[in-house]
Structure 1
Amino acid sequence: MILPIAGVLDAGTLARVRTRLAEARFEDGRRTAGWHAREVKANQQAAEADPATREAAAIISTELLTNPVFRTAVLPRRLRPILFARYPGEGAYGTHTDDALMGFTDPTGPTRADVSVTIFLSDPESYEGGELVIDGIGGEAAYKLDAGCALAYPATTLHRVAPVTRGERLVAVTWAQSLVRDVASREMLFDLDTARRAVFADRGNDETFRLLAKTYANLLRRWAET
């Protein structure tokens, strides 16, 4: 499931993040790429140790984990630290697949990357190119969302960032390990949760809602890995 999520960062929060990142030090983004992705990565990344970077990352983590659409769709069990990538003119990231496991040196062990997340921080009119392009069964799909919006998509996909031909693309990226590993099961749960909420809003806690709620809970109980 590829899911755009509107309004993860409101205007005020987005301004705070941009202000903090204006003070951050950026370095060669290839430092954090897997060995097979370094040759196709051409961007800059905010230094993780900088106080400005850490503050901006904490803001986005909080907003993402409290966003109801993100929580329902992704069912996050663990979230990787937020990274900030900057793509100045001609910046790009060639076709690649994200690493399956990340953070081998973490005290709690590595995180399985089930869902990739990009939060757009630049206004789309401020740069040309820079689309996030994801391969699918029907071909490629390109995404360039409004600032403050997020795109959650399976980490199993081949994807790339098209070259930036004007301006600068600034994004935050992270990866989530989901309580439900299988992407098709997550999509069914998301659809079912959307349906039960719609029924509740229209008809309240009636028999149909209770059956939907029961089925959702029992499927989550069957599929969740804690």
Structure 2
Amino acid sequence: MLVTIDNFLTAEEVRAFRARLDAGTWVDGASTAGTLSAAVKRNLQIDENDPLGRDLGNIILGRMGTHPLAISAALPHRIYPPKFNSYAGGGHYGTHVDSAVMRIPGTNDTLRSDVSATLFLTDPADYDGGELLIEGAHGAQAVKLEAGALVLYPATSLHRVEPVTRGRRICSFFWIQSMVRSAEDRGLLFDLDQTVQALAATRAPDDADLVRLTGVYHNLLRRWAEM
């Protein structure tokens, strides 16, 4: 299941992020990649020791905790602290799959990566290339969103970032351990939740069908959730 969320950050928030990121400390992105990924990764990332990344990442985490569509799609249990990357001058990231288990920086806790997330911070007209290509059962899907938009997709997917041949592409990226491990089950719950929300907009809160359908959603979540 691939879900895009427009205006996850407002235009004003994007401008504030960009102004601060432009003054940040950028390092070779290959230094944080695994052995195989490092060979196909050519980009820059905000230094993990730069407080800027933590400050901006906390804003993203706060938004994830309150955004109804993001919560519905990912059902977050744990979120890896957001990172920031930059592609320019032919920078790219070849086909790879994200690590299944990650240690959360500064803790002894680990996270199972169920959902990958990319938050676009550059308008698509400002750079050529840089599409996020996500492979699925029906071929690769190219994602290149407006600044401030977020895409959520299965961390199990093979994916890549196409070379940026003009301008600069800046994004935040992070991973989510969902309360529901199965991507198929998450997809069913997402469809059911969106249906409930659509019906709630047109029916009374005590509508019998709406109440029963809401109960089905929560009982399925109760059955599948891992805490």
Within 5 Å, give how 1:190-209 maps onto structure 2: 190-205=190-205, 206-209=207-210
Match of 2:177 in 1: 177
Partner Cα distance (1:102, 1:209) in 2 = 39
Equivalent residues of 2:80, 2:104 under 8 A apart: no
Instruction: Find the counterpart in structure 1 of residue 71 from structure 2.
Output: 71
Q: Is the 8 A contact 1:23 1:52 kept in 2?
A: no
Are 2:22 and 1:18 equivalent residues in the alignment? no
Which residue pairs with 2:216 in the alignment? Answer: 215
| Aligned length in residues | 226
1-side partners of 2:74 and 2:53: how far apart? 25
Aligned AA for 2:24? A
Deviations 1:111-167 (A, max 9, x none): 000000000000100000000001111111101000000000000000000000100
Per-residue CA deviations over 1:66-110 (Å, capped at 9, x if unaligned) read: 211101110000000111000011000000000000116753421
Match of 2:55 in 1: 55
Secondary structure of the 1:58 match is helix
Matched, 1:150 2:162: no
CA positional deviation for 1:54 = 2.1
Which SS does the other structure have where 2:165 is aligned?
strand
Gap regions ≥5 residues in structure 1: none
Question: What does 1:90-129 correspond to in 2, within 5 Å?
Answer: 90-103=90-103, 107-129=107-129
Q: How far, CA to CA, are the matches of 2:126 and 2:28 in structure 1?
A: 22
Structure 2 CA distance, aligned partners of 1:33 and 1:216?
A: 38
TM-score (norm 1): 0.97
The correspondence of residues 17-56 of structure 1 with structure 2, limited to 5 A, is 17-56=17-56
Decide whether aligned partners of structure 1 residues 164 and 138 sit closer, same or farther in structure 2, where only a CA change above 3 A counts.
same
Stretch moving more, 187-196 or 105-114: 105-114
- 2:53–2:82 Cα contact (<8 Å) kept: no
* CA distance in structure 1 between the partners assigned to 2:49 and 2:107 by the alignment: 18
Note if 1:225 corresponds to 2:226.
yes
Question: How many angstroms apart in 2 are the aligned matches of 1:74 and 1:53?
Answer: 23
| Identical residues among aligned pairs (%) | 45
Residue 4 of structure 2 aligns to a residue in which SS?
strand
Match of 1:130 in 2: 130
User: In structure 2, what is the Cα distance between the partners aligned to 1:109 and 1:62?
Assistant: 20
Over aligned residue pairs, what C-alpha RMSD do you find? 1.2
- Which residues of structure 2 form unaligned runs of 5+? none
